[in-house]
Homo-oligomer: A and B are copies of this chain.
Amino acid sequence: MTLSIDKPTSKKPPRLRDKTITLAHGSGGRAMQDLIEALFVQAFQEGPANALEDQARIPLDELTAQGDRLAFTTDSFVVDPIIFPGGDIGTLAVNGTVNDLAVSGAIPRYLTCAMILEEGLPMQTLRQVVASMAAAAKQAGVAIVTGDTKVVPRGGADKIFINTAGIGVMRTGVTPAAVHIQPGDVVLVNGPIGNHGATIMVARGELSLETDLQSDCQPLNGLVDAIVSVCPEVKAMRDATRGGLATVLNEFAESARVGIRLIEDQIPVDDAVKGLCELLGLDPLYLANEGKLVVVVPPEQAEEVLAAMRSHPSGTQSQIIGQVTEGQWVSLKTAFGTERVIDRLVDDQLPRIC
């Protein structure tokens, strides 16, 4: 059973007396309904008023007023640990999907929230994650309009998994897509890379490392607005999540059948991320980000886009990091003046030590 989260109810929400999540909270029975009403409905009540149905219902004319196409996306979030410096799995779950919509040039509008909870999860943890989701949704200006709750037996999942799907409206005339990329186009990024990946690696605790790093988790739709308003012709945008900057650029090159040449000196990387990479033999180009955007624009608009990005709070450290070329490789002009290929990795980077 799915409950639309935005139940227009006058009655006061039930009190949640349970200290931990049990299988009852996923049973479809009253314990589940109480959880949904006491927690999710309260937190996410910003949405439009729908009845207590198994789906949200959205007038199409409200969407057609904003653009001509729907963007539709989904991501599951399984981050470990679920709470880390700079955010938690809830922040990620909202921003991740907001960003996947935003980079299509869409105005993100509505999100779903489907939780898989492990039996025994402290209720307090769930409260915190749900509060983060509500705050992130508010910040990004989206509504969480429908959801689902499943509970699996202890050991059947790792604390919390969240799936968010999202829809947004694509502005008429704005159609960023990797296939539009052409030689000569300019590649930008909105700030230092690798902070999220580095933060999570450290937060797991297995390496016994300490840093002051924080995840860069943030919504990018505001920044995209700024980009699109000066450059509706933007060729391509993508958030550089799993696989990092290198992976996104390889996807771009492959889709558009072009090469991309990066300038190492211009790619912003924070010192502690550099330190972690040196210590563990990693490459920051492949570290995950959760608030970093790669943008490709026609060369004549690069400076204007850069200026627009830098004047947005999410892009103050934006940089032009390279240019699209003929050819088929993503390559890097190293700080040493040489050139090397930046290929896709097969897999996650593992520490290289001995």
Contacts and interface: CB of A to CB of B under 8 A. Distances in A.
Interface of A: 1-2, 22-24, 26-33, 51-61, 63-64, 67-78, 80, 100-101, 103-104, 106, 110, 112-116, 145-148, 150, 152, 155-158, 161, 163, 165, 167-170, 177-179, 238-239, 241-244, 247-248, 251, 254-255, 288, 344-348
Contact of A78 (B63, B71, B152): B152
A160 to B, nearest CB: 12
B27 A242 contact: yes
B100 A178 contact: no
Number of copies: 2
Contact of A2 (B32, B52, B100): B100
B78 A114 contact: no
Nearest to A348: B27
Contacts of A241: 1, 28
Nearest to A158: B156
Contacts of A106: 55
The winner among A31, A78, A113, A244 for most chain B CB atoms within 10 A is A78
A331 B248 CA distance: 58
A52 B116 contact: no
B30 A76 contact: no
Contact of A104 (B32, B53, B63, B64): B53
Contacts of A76: 114-116, 148, 150, 163
Contacts of A251: 52
Nearest to A169: B60
27 contacts: A1-B242, A2-B100, A26-B242, A28-B288, A28-B348, A29-B346, A30-B346, A31-B347, A52-B254, A53-B178, A55-B73, A55-B168, A57-B71, A57-B72, A59-B68, A60-B60, A60-B69, A72-B145, A73-B112, A74-B113, A74-B146, A76-B150, A78-B157, A148-B163, A152-B158, A157-B158, A157-B161
Contacts of A248: 1
A22 B347 CA distance: 10
A74 B162 CA distance: 12
A65 to B, nearest CB: 10
A120 B61 CA distance: 47
Contacts of A32: 242-243
Contacts of A74: 2, 112-114, 146-148, 163, 165
Contact of A72 (B103, B110, B179): B110
Contact of A346 (B24, B167, B177, B244): B24
Contacts of A53: 104, 177-178, 238
A167 B345 contact: no
10 A-B pairs with least C-beta separation: A28-B243, A28-B242, A165-B165, A55-B73, A74-B112, A24-B347, A163-B163, A29-B345, A27-B348, A156-B158
A246 to B, nearest CB: 9
A1 B254 CA distance: 16
A89 to B, nearest CB: 12
A247 to B, nearest CB: 5
A167 B242 contact: no
Given A54-B100, A74-B147, 14 more contacts: A2-B100, A27-B242, A27-B348, A28-B242, A28-B247, A31-B347, A52-B255, A53-B177, A53-B238, A56-B73, A58-B72, A60-B169, A76-B116, A155-B155
A68 B147 CA distance: 22
